[in-house]
Structure formats: C-alpha cells, structure tokens
C-alpha cells in the first residue's frame, strides 16, 4: 500500500461536523492526516511485536505480560482522561499500549484458553458492533471530530480496544489458520483498505463508516508487517526478530510524535461551539 493510498485515507473521517468545544474541553483526538495513518500502522506493528518480545524474549510469560500491559494502560488512560485537549505523547502512548493489550487479549483466548480464532473473531466483531450501537444510541454520532466529553471519550477508547482485539484475531486467522503467509496477508488487508478508499471517494461510502472500517483493518495490516519483519525465514518472515523490529518502530513513532508535538500539524484549532450536555 503506497503513499497515495495512505494520503487518500486521511479524508475518510472528514465529515461536516463542526469542530466543537464542550465543558471547557477541546477535541481529545488528533485530526486524521497522513501522519495519523502512518503512526497508527506503526502502533499496530509494535502491538504485535512488543507483545511477543515481552512474552517470549524477556520471559515474562503471557499472564504476567497481560497484567503489566493492563496496569500500564489503566495509568495512561487516567492521564488521558484528565487532560482537556489532545496531547500527542499521551494520546499515542495510549494507542501503543492498547495495541499491545488488545493483542494479548486475543493471544490469551487462543493460547491459554484454546478458543479457536474462528470463534474469537466473530465474538470480537459482535462486541465491537455493540459498542458502536450503544455509542450511537447515546450520542447520535460516531464521529471522532466531536470527542470532547468524558462519555464520548469512553466509547472511543472502548471501540479502539475492540478494534485491536478483532484485528489481531482476524489477522491471525488469515495469516496462520488459513496458512496464507504474511506477505499474502499484507496484500489482502492493504487491498481491502484501498477498496474502502475507492468506495468512499468514488461511490460516496459514509465517511465515518469508512474511517472505522479502515481503522479496524490497519490492525491486521500492521500485524502482518510486524510478523513479516520479525518472524524467522523458516516461518515466512525476514528474521529481524521482535526486539529489533519493536525498537525500530518505537523509535519511528517517537520521532513522528515529537514532530507533531512541535509542529501541531494534527491538532484541531479551537472553535467556540454550543454547550454540550454533561455525560
């Protein structure tokens, strides 16, 4: 998937919603730009490789790694919820850790409880659908341009958690259960994302729907990239290992987030709007 497709994806979440301020809180998430999709895919890659690195290479084991990731995620979410605006280092730290935690949820079901991927994938899809349904029922919108109340932010992070769990299950199902390999999986997920982009721009697919579909599918896309780089050549990868792959992608994420923090290129400019009912 080239730069043109990533650039096209930046408009998937652009709707006619006004940029809003409510309860003295600015929109808590970044604008959907090219940088958003690049960092998002890198975070999903780290979610795959870092979970394997801590679990296997460091030797923490699946259970201890899950507890550690869960505790760190809870701490970061507390910090994120206490903020009144989008702060790139905090926001993307949450995305990285929630990517790891979402991966571990699926890994625990598969490895510890022996739940087949053919079962966990539709279960996570159903749970994500429930989150979206309740979110829309309460707020009448799934747009990420209006995440400026605590309730909307809660729905937002719940949805993201299940997109990572679902994406992990679906990605593993295609790459491993169906033995298609990481390269073929990458082409499949990249092709579907490209098709969604075409459907949005060419056939007026709803922007919010297109955004969330692309967001879900970047998880198995990033996982395919991570596995393809880190896994041994015998397993169909390039053999770089989870350690080097994790550090390289974390370094790239850090560099890009530092750039965005300084440049503010992905931040929504504050614009007055009507008050919002308390969540």
Residue ranges covered by each domain of the chain:
29-263
Q: pTM value?
A: 0.85
Question: What does each of the 279 residues of the chain score in pLDDT, given as a tens digit?
Answer: 555 544 544 544 444 343 333 344 678 999 998 899 999 999 999 988 888 888 887 888 898 999 999 999 999 999 999 999 999 999 999 999 999 999 999 999 999 899 999 999 999 999 999 999 999 999 999 988 889 899 999 999 999 999 999 988 888 887 776 777 778 888 999 999 999 999 998 999 999 999 999 999 998 898 888 888 888 877 777 888 888 999 999 999 999 999 999 999 998 765 444 444 444
Contact 35, 256 (CB under 8 A): yes
Quick one: DSSP state of residue 264? -
Backbone angles phi, psi at 22, to 5 degrees: -140, 145
C-alpha triplet 71, 77, 79: angle, nearest 5°: 110
Contact 203, 22 (CB under 8 A): no
Q: How far apart are the first and last CA of the chain?
A: 39
Would you state the structure tokens that stand for residue 225, as one six-digit string? 């990239």
pLDDT of residue 22: 38
pLDDT of residue 228: 85
Calpha distance 111→90 (Å, rounded):
31
Rama region for 204: left / alpha / beta (φ>0; ψ in -120 to 50; rest): left
Quick one: DSSP state of residue 13? T
Per-residue H/E/C for 173-203 = HHHHHCCCCHHHHHHHHHHHHHHHHHHHHHH
């Amino acid at each position: 998937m080239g730069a043109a497709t990533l650039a096209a994806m930046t408009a998937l979440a652009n709707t006619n919603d006004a940029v809003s301020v409510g309860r003295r809180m600015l929109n808590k998430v970044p604008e959907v730009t090219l940088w958003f999709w690049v960092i998002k895919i890198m975070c999903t890659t780290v979610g795959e490789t870092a979970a394997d690195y801590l679990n296997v290479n460091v030797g923490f084991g699946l259970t201890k790694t899950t507890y550690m990731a869960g505790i760190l995620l809870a701490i970061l979410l507390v910090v994120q919820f206490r903020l009144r605006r989008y702060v790139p280092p905090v926001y993307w730290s949450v995305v990285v850790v929630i990517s790891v935690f979402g991966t571990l949820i699926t890994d625990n079901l598969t490895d510890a409880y022996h739940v087949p991927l053919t079962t966990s994938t539709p279960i996570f899809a159903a749970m994500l659908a429930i989150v979206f349904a309740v979110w829309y029922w309460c707020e009448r919108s799934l747009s990420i341009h209006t995440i400026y109340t605590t309730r909307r932010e809660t729905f937002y992070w719940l949805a993201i958690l299940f997109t990572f769990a679902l994406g992990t299950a679906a990605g593993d199902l295609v790459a491993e259960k169906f033995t298609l390999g990481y390269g073929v999986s990458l082409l499949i997920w990249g092709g579907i994302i490209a098709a969604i982009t075409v459907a949005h721009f060419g056939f007026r697919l709803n922007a919010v729907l297109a955004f969330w579909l692309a967001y879900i599918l970047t998880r198995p896309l990033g996982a395919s990239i991570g596995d393809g780089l880190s896994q041994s050549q015998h397993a169909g990868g390039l053999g770089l290992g989870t350690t080097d792959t994790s550090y390289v992608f974390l370094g790239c994420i850090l560099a890009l987030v530092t750039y965005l923090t300084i440049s503010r290129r992905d931040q929504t400019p504050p614009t007055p709007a009507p008050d919002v009912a308390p969540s």
